[in-house]
Amino acid sequence: MGLCHASSTTGVSAAKLPGGNTAPQQPGAGPGTEGQAGQYDWQPDDEANLCQRCLQTRFTLLERRHHCRNCGRVVCGDCSKRKEILHHKPVRVCNVCAENLQNIRLPADTDGGDGSDSEEEEEDERTRMRMCALE
């Protein structure tokens, strides 16, 4: 179940999530649909009664749903214990994405670049596209 979409800010809006967080959404695209690489649609809460990683944890009032900030899947707390740097800040990611991100992180830039935000954003995009290929 791939939730990857291509990276572009054209036509992308932010959906408000509980707690004030936002998630990028591609108009007309839903989880698992093809779009622009690097953009992820959040899996709606009502589509997941079970954790989408372990497929064992049933969500209740005591067992909260969490969204992986990398793939957009709804996961339980045990399957999303880690944080990774995405868009220059640490965010909750599922354990699978955390492991994949650790395995494919690019080495530090050694070309003497100025470390501008656009270079860092391009690296984030390359990392996500590699993650999509792994799913």
pLDDT in tens, the chain (135 residues): 444 433 333 333 334 444 444 444 333 334 433 333 344 688 999 999 999 999 999 999 999 999 999 999 999 999 999 999 988 999 999 999 999 998 887 555 445 555 555 666 666 666 665 555 444
pTM value is 0.53
Identify whether the C-beta of residue 131 lies closer than 8 Å to the C-beta of residue 104. yes
Q: How far apart are CA 93 and CA 124, in angstroms?
A: 14
Query: How far from chain centre, in Å, is Cα 89?
Result: 13
DSSP string over 69-91 = TTT--EE-STT--EEEEETTEEE
Q: How far apart are CA 115 and CA 79, in angstroms?
A: 33
The tally of domains found in the chain comes to 1
CATH at residue 23: 3.30.40.10
Segments forming the whole domain that contains residue 53? 4-134
